Amino acid sequence: MSRILAKSIAVTVLALLASLAISFTFVPMLGGEVSGAGLVMTIVCPIAVALPASTLHYWQSERLRRANGALMAANDKLAEAYRQLHSQSRLDALTGVLNRHAFAQELQAVSEAAASGGLLFIDLDHFKSINDRFGHATGDEALRAIGQLLTGHVRATDIVGRLGGEEFGIFLHSVTAEHMLDRSHRIREAVRSLDFRTPAGAQVALGASIGAFHCRAGFDPSQALAAADGNLYRAKSTGRNTVIA
């Protein structure tokens, strides 16, 4: 409020000076004299008009400025909430990796960018027995642990998603077929070596079968997933805890 009053007083002083300048310039030219009631009106009128008018103007301007600031802040919060909601809608709530739909979108984008790489289809071995023996809560914790493990074994340019149940997918961006196989075996070994325990402290053995398929530039995502899935089926049929490409 003090800033509003200061501005209003400054405007009033300028209005008063302008009024005096006009009066002392033009009144003598017309043969009059600025004195008495005329001088009083020259001083009082700009004060009576300019002070309340400028105070009201600056007060309304300040209210508008604050309202605009509040609106911008609300818009920023809304935009951030939308970004978070959009991000959350792409993530699997349990594991924190991309959900199936978002993984498919990212895979399509990679294909359209004419990139190559390795596609891994990962399935946890005998996962149903974990739910049967230790309960679904332990099974969920195991899936969460696997999600974190897989995320830790990829680069920022790679893609990790949960494709459903105990199935995960990884796209290794711009790797050779040999590098894809090496990374696949390292991931399989990391899953096998994971020290996962129930809340009671019982150790739960985990394993993973991996179907790998090397994607050339311009690959068809659906065909690549089908090929990786076929290799996964072969991996599970030949003893599990293995990699087939």
pLDDT for residue 214? 98
Residues involved in catalysis: 166
Average pLDDT over residues 158-173: 97
C-alpha to C-alpha distance for 209 and 237, rounded to whole angstroms:
10
Q: Summarize pLDDT for 114-130 with one digit per residue, the tens.
A: 999 999 999 999 999 99
pLDDT for residue 195? 94
Residue 245 near residue 231 (C-beta atoms within 8 A)? yes
Partners of residue 170 on adjacent β-strands: 120, 160
Which position has the higher pLDDT, 128 or 64? 128
pLDDT for residue 34? 63
Residue 118 near residue 175 (C-beta atoms within 8 A)? yes
Q: How confident is the model at residue 40 (pLDDT cuts 50, 70, 90)?
A: low
Give yes or no for residue 87 having a pLDDT over 60.
no
Structure tokens, 239: 């003893």
pLDDT for residue 140? 96
User: If DSSP codes are grouped into helix, strand and coil, which group holds residue 164?
Assistant: strand
Q: How confident is the model at residue 86 (pLDDT cuts 50, 70, 90)?
A: low
